[in-house]
Amino acid sequence: MITTVHYLALSAALLLIGTVGVLTRRNIVIILMSIELILNAVNINLIAFSHVWGNPRGQVFAIFVIVDAVAEAAVGLGILIALFRNKETVLADEIDLLKW
C-alpha cells in the first residue's frame, strides 16, 4: 500500500539530490539541470497533496511551477550563452569578476 508519506519521502530525496547537484557541481549546465530536479520534487509534493484532498488546486500550482521552470531554463541558458561568448568557460567557480 502506497501512502502519501511514500511520495513525500521520494520528493524529499529528489530535493536533496538536486541540492547536492547545485552545491557541488562546477558545470553551469548541470547546475541548471539540478534546479529542474528540485522543481520536480516540489511538483511531486503538490500532486500528492492534490490527490489526497481531492482538490485540483495543487495541480494548478504545479502548472505554475512548470511555467516558472520554463522561464528559468530559457533565461538561464541565454545567460550561459552570453557568458560563454565573453569568458569562454562554463565552470561556475571561474566566473569571479565580482570577487575581490
Segment 71-100, which members bind another protein (CB under 8 A)? 71-75, 77-82, 84-85, 89-93
DSSP 34-67: HHHHHHHHHHHHHHHHHHHHT-THHHHHHHHHHH
Nearer to another protein, 26 or 100 (CB): 26
Q: What is the DSSP letter of 88?
A: S
Burial 72-98 (b: 16+ CB within 10 A, else e): eeeeeeeeeeeeeeeeeebeeeeeeee
Say whether residue 55 binds another protein (CB under 8 A): yes
Nearer to another protein, 81 or 98 (CB): 81
Give me the least distance between CB of 12 and another protein, in Å please.
5
Q: State which of residues 5, 97, 99, 100 lies at the interface with another protein (CB under 8 A).
A: 5
Assigned C-alpha cell, 71: 522561464
Size of site (CB under 8 A) for another protein: 73
Say whether residue 44 binds another protein (CB under 8 A): yes
